[in-house]
Amino acid sequence: MNWQKIWAVNKYWLMSKSQQQYDHIRLLAKNNQWTPQKSQELDKILDSLGSVSPTRKTLVTTYQHIWGYFKKKCTDEELHQYLKLLDELQPDNDSLGPFLVQLTAKYQIDYLQKSRLIIELNEREGQSISKN
């Protein structure tokens, strides 16, 4: 898998764990100049974040980015639900992530369906993100 695909899959997962590491990877990828050394660094960072728990701040930032895929498609009810869940969001009581998984399935957002964060949230909740 090339680095762009690895980045696309891991982007929001990484953002949910560490904004600093997310920004670092974005700098590494700047100008599409990718090297084997950068690939090793990316792998090392991804491995190091496996046991890191998201904070409220990192989740809010990540979920706001993900919400961008829905904000022009959603119903008024979905918008109100999103805002309510965002306001109530706590890392140990996350109802917003599963809600975003549901919207990913409803609106069939291909990019998000391949996202590690959405996949992991989906697996945790036992939901289906594809309409087969």
Q: Model confidence over 15-60: pLDDT tens digits?
A: 999 999 999 998 888 877 788 898 899 999 999 999 999 999 999 9
Q: What pLDDT is recorded for position 1? A: 61
Closest CA to 40 of 22, 28, 57, 27: 28
The model's pLDDT over 87-109, given as tens digits with 9 standing for 90+, comes to 999 999 999 999 999 999 999 99
The DSSP string of 36-77 is HHHHHHHHHHHHHTTTPPPPHHHHHHHHHHHHTTTTTT--HH
